[in-house]
A and B are shown apart, each in its own frame.
Chain A
């Protein structure tokens, strides 16, 4: 198979060099990070062992927020699991971008790079509720999607910031949504009873899930900004909560930056245990450029203050902000050097950590449906230093991130390291 590579990584440290350079960071987490950075391509041999009866495979009918890196919706394995329990959330990537291969080695699935065996991996497994329908006939897999230990519900796969052409520049949500709806027909609004029934069924599988994540695009409607979004989440959380004997249940909401009244309602009226609101990029100028909708409607400083105030409601160790690691280096207005970007990001993350807000990152993977589709993400060295820096801040300020760790999420190299906290 010969392909003209658009990206060769020749001027960057290799995986093995980075592993040697950072002996305090586990090789398995560095591998995960690099696989997320470069993406994957499944060989025919690897695909020959996919069994849709056992494995989780992508389904256009399941409302994932974001699209794949190759822009193609195919029934491919959802993601991968390493032998230490670390998940690798990654999507299929064009071969010319030089991704890792997922292949068979000695009859087992493995990551391979340039013919070199890297690590064995496994496909995620399908939960039993995926084969069932609610009493109103909706396939349960369309209500909640699953990771190895997490249930996720996407409240709205439309983000209202896009209406004014002010969606975040790295994001493909609405383009992905449009495409999926063409592929899989528009998804009707999810009814609370369907939500409740799906959770009830999911809980019948012993030991399968440890957390529930709610997220969606920003909804600007309502009497006050985001009031409608809050109402929707409360309705969903209450429907989920019907199935638990305790008022609170391990859960994470990733949503817009709500005001204190809205946050209080969420905390008091539901079983929600943690709150995450993504600043996406920890620098006011870059935020204004990269996230114009967030900047116009809330503003960087107010977004930060809302996060800090939410610690009074949810408590230290229960509030986070997410960033898209590497997007602060986007061209033409991003940081020029990785050193400067890292220093600035960690300084700002520290100002949040001092106030009880922890910062987590995802590895930026430029997607075809986003403004930044032709850009490149950062070096592996950068991502390892970012993961280590954010982890060190958690250690310094005594912050846990149990609601968004390797098991309850699996998408953040920095919170993978929190297994030792």
Chain B
């Protein structure tokens, strides 16, 4: 089921200075992670990813995902220690039409003589807050055995 991204996450995704990593898997289940600037949100709540290379591993893996109902992950890290992971499903790719043309023109204006293979539409399914202090508090509450005893000692060792 598609979910709504928070406005904080949308702002991060749409900030070109923010790094985003896109993780896909190949046929053998081997992960492929690449840093991308060209990931942002669309008005309908989906995520758009601009793939520049038709023959890239990422593109092959996205094609495999749309064909065989696979998922992808996007990791986002913000300037204020925000860390998010979005799980999503590629549901469409624009290889022609007005949206494709708009991005084809824009990407060539900003990057020079590059190709655009397609505009991938990724439907967000789940968001995980990966901020370490948030995750540690969550684990301390939900999984109280997952801790070393010295952390609980009256007199902590330095």
Contacts and interface: CB of A to CB of B under 8 A. Distances in A.
Interface of A: 23, 26-29, 81, 83-85, 122, 125, 148-149, 205-208, 407, 419-420
Interface stretch (B33-41, B91-99, B141-149): B91-99
Interface of B: 27, 54, 60, 63-64, 66-68, 91-98, 100-101, 104-105, 108, 116, 118
A205 B105 CA distance: 10
A83 B92 contact: yes
Contact of A407 (B67, B94, B95, B97): B95
Contacts of A207: 96, 100-101, 104-105, 116
Contacts of B63: 84, 419-420
Given A84-B63, A84-B93, A85-B118, A26 B68 contact: yes
A84 B92 contact: yes
Contacts of B105: 206-207
Contacts, number: 52
Contacts of A23: 68
5 contacts: A84-B93, A85-B95, A85-B96, A149-B96, A208-B101
Given A26-B68, A27-B67, A420-B64, A148 B95 contact: yes
A386 to B, nearest CB: 18
A83 B68 CA distance: 13
Contacts of B66: 28, 83-84
A29 B105 CA distance: 30
Contacts of A420: 27, 60, 63-64
A81 B64 contact: no
B88 to A, nearest CB: 15
Contacts of A419: 60, 63
A207 B97 CA distance: 9
A148 B93 contact: no
A83 B96 contact: no
Given A419-B60, A419-B63, A420-B60, A85 B93 contact: yes
